Structure 1
Amino acid sequence: MNLTIDVANKENENIVSLSGEIDAYTAPKLKETLLPLTKGENTVVTVDLAEVNYMDSTGLGVFISALKSTKETNSELKLINPNDRVMRLFEITGLTEIINIQDESVRGGM
């Protein structure tokens, strides 16, 4: 599986929509796209994880690097809509304590 990365800019926010898998093969491409977006002063970088069906520790490393970069530029990193599997990875590593992760999707119940 591959990773598709779409970036949209609106005012002081960069919205990064991801689709696919974040692993050792795709993480460098994500880092190459994501880190420059975190260099702007006072910007918000929102990463939509709704279509990410798999992520390993290399993906976590990319988000930690992005978080450090936003702290240096007084910006904000926000992750939205992770599926349960991806969210569990953030929870068991304790990253939910330091990264802003929100579920902004509207999921209907059955």
Structure 2
Amino acid sequence: MNDLTITTSTGSTGSTRVRIAGEIDIATAPHITDTVHDTLAAGAREVLLDMADVTFLDSTGIGAQLHTKHAAVDQDVTLRLVDPNPRVVRVLQLTGLLDVLQDGAALHASSGSSAQPVGSAEPVDTAKRSGP
């Protein structure tokens, strides 16, 4: 059984902290996206994903974080990762997503173009290539 605890609190500055504890995997990731979507629907202007007590993060958890980031950007809300545990930091460093999630860097809206971190040196070429 996968243990996951999610709590939310709103600070005096209006930031909503979503504290996540336990394992983020295929069974638990949807709970995180649901919580963040509910937080956005409630009118949050900044969402802080507190992952200090996350003990495991798989690709589904990474996808959930990116999904919530895109949802926040679509609503002009800042969403960023705070206090990640070293295991989470390592996974996000390996995928190149740590700065995007931790520093609150915005993602380009996906209006027909590929999403990429702001400040990326090279545009992402998503055109399909045919032949050798």
TM bin, normalised by shorter chain, reads: 0.7 to 0.9
Please name the residue that 2:93 is paired with.
Answer: 91
Q: In 1, distance between residues paired with 2:52 and 2:82?
A: 7
Please name the residue that 1:6 is paired with.
Answer: 7
Q: Which runs of 5+ in 2 are unaligned?
A: 105-132
DSSP 3-state at the match of 1:52: strand
Q: How many residues align?
A: 102
Please name the residue that 1:106 is paired with.
Answer: none
Q: In 2, distance between residues paired with 1:16 and 1:41?
A: 14
Is the Cα contact below 8 Å between 2:16 and 2:44 reproduced in 1?
no
DSSP 3-state at the match of 2:27: coil
> Does 1:100 pair with 2:115?
no
**Which structure has the larger Rg?**
2
> What pairs up with 1:1-110 in 2 under 5 angstroms?
1-10=2-11, 11-39=13-41, 43-101=45-103
Q: Scaled by the length of structure 2, what TM-score is found?
A: 0.69
Q: Which runs of 5+ in 1 are unaligned?
A: 103-110
How big is each residue's C-alpha offset from its partner over 1:20-46, in whole Å with a ceiling of 9 and x where there is no partner? 110111111111111232346671100
The Cα of 1:84 is off from its aligned counterpart by 1.4
How well do the aligned residues superpose, as a CA RMSD in angstroms?
Answer: 1.9
Q: Scaled by the length of structure 1, what TM-score is found?
A: 0.82
Greater than 6 Å deviation, 4+ residue runs: none
The Cα of 1:9 is off from its aligned counterpart by 1.5
Q: Relative CO higher for 1 or 2, CA cutoff 8 Å, sep ≥ 6?
A: 1
